[in-house]
């Protein structure tokens, strides 16, 4: 019609087809890109919503702390239960005190303190229960929020061996100077410890038996007393911890 041969017409048709194909591809790309953009916007809005909720919850927690408001308050029943458990624990360590002729029997629990600049919690410990013989000054008041690193040797022995036995403080001079000085300043001549564990097998503290006179130290007496009394204390502490951990 226009003087075009079959080959030319075929070539033009091919070009037209290719052009349409390119347009279709571009259209689909634009459509797909628009869909991805919409999905991205939805995700961004959802993330912002979650972030705002977390920020709101965080501020609420901070305000509770500032105002001294606990998220969960102890009920009278829970408070009574804890008091009863603590009374039983104190009764048992007083029994241990008498059975072992010790100067002091105490329970120390592990806990976290404030955080360092890297956001890691300081590992601390506090004495929660204590029984002393007549004439021995209590230590519970001063043994609070202490760094575990202060008694690194002691804590390490309890962690790895479950027990730590010091029959003579003087033997520590060549083992751990810090531990030696800590005991010497407090006139502690002998010391026995056993680790306390929770239901998961993690060390949560220890029972400590101390002597101001190493002549009174009798490992067999200690073992005999602990065989009967240790399981009771560990069970009671685990029960008590169940309420405390909910707070």
For residue 217, give the CATH number of its domain: 3.30.450.40
Residue 84's pLDDT is 86
pLDDT tens digit sequence for 4-14: 566 665 665 66
Q: How far apart are CA 195 and CA 203, in angstroms?
A: 6
How many domains in the chain?
2
If asked whether residues 110 and 162 sit together in one domain, one would say yes
If asked whether residues 138 and 230 sit together in one domain, one would say yes
- Tokens linked to 103: 């100067």
If asked whether residues 57 and 93 sit together in one domain, one would say no
**Ranges of the chain with pLDDT below 50:** 1-2, 58, 61-62, 65-71, 242-247
If asked whether residues 67 and 103 sit together in one domain, one would say no
- Tokens linked to 76: 């009278």
Q: How far apart are CA 129 and CA 95, in angstroms?
A: 13
Last residue of a domain, one of 48, 71, 94: 71
If asked whether residues 192 and 89 sit together in one domain, one would say yes
If asked whether residues 179 and 92 sit together in one domain, one would say yes
Q: Report the percent of the chain where pLDDT is more than 70.
A: 71
Other Cβ atoms closer than 10 A to 209: 25
Residue 242's pLDDT is 43
Residue 247's pLDDT is 34
Last residue of a domain, one of 71, 92, 121: 71
If asked whether residues 116 and 9 sit together in one domain, one would say no
If asked whether residues 40 and 81 sit together in one domain, one would say no
- Cβ-contact 144, 129 below 8 angstroms: no
Query: Which H or E element spans position 206?
Result: strand 203-211
Last residue of a domain, one of 20, 53, 71: 71
Residues facing residue 175 across a β-bridge: none
Domain span at residue 39 reads 1-71
**Length reported for the chain:** 247
If asked whether residues 164 and 206 sit together in one domain, one would say yes
Residue 24's pLDDT is 65
If asked whether residues 52 and 140 sit together in one domain, one would say no
- Which of 224, 160, 158, 159 lies closest to 191, judged by CA? 158
If asked whether residues 148 and 165 sit together in one domain, one would say yes
Note if the pTM is more than 0.85: no
- Cβ-contact 153, 160 below 8 angstroms: no
If asked whether residues 111 and 63 sit together in one domain, one would say no
Residue 78's pLDDT is 65
- Tokens linked to 191: 């010391």
Q: How far apart are CA 152 and CA 201, in angstroms?
A: 20
- Which of 164, 149, 157, 230 lies closest to 196, judged by CA? 230
């Amino acid at each position: 019609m226009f003087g075009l041969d079959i080959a030319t017409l075929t070539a033009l048709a091919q070009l037209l087809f290719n052009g349409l194909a390119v347009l279709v591809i571009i259209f689909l790309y634009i459509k797909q890109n628009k869909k991805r953009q919409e999905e991205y916007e939805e995700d961004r809005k959802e993330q912002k919503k979650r972030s705002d909720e977390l920020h709101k919850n965080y501020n609420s927690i901070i305000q509770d702390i500032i105002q001294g408001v606990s998220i969960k308050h102890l009920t009278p029943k829970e408070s009574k239960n804890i008091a009863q458990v603590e009374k039983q624990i104190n009764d048992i360590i007083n029994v241990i005190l008498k059975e072992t002729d010790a100067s002091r029997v105490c329970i120390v629990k592990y806990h976290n303190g404030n955080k360092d600049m890297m956001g890691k919690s300081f590992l601390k410990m506090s004495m929660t229960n204590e029984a002393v013989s007549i004439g021995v000054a209590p230590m519970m008041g001063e043994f609070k929020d202490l760094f575990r690193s202060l008694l690194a040797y002691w804590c390490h022995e309890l962690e790895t061996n479950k027990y730590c036995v010091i029959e003579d403080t003087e033997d520590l001079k060549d083992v751990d100077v810090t531990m030696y000085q800590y005991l010497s300043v407090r006139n502690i001549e002998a010391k026995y410890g056993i680790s306390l564990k929770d239901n998961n097998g993690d060390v949560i503290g220890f029972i400590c038996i101390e002597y101001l006179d190493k002549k009174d130290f009798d490992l067999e007496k200690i073992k005999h007393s602990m065989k009967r009394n240790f399981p009771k204390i560990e069970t009671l502490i685990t029960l008590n911890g169940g309420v405390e951990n909910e707070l």
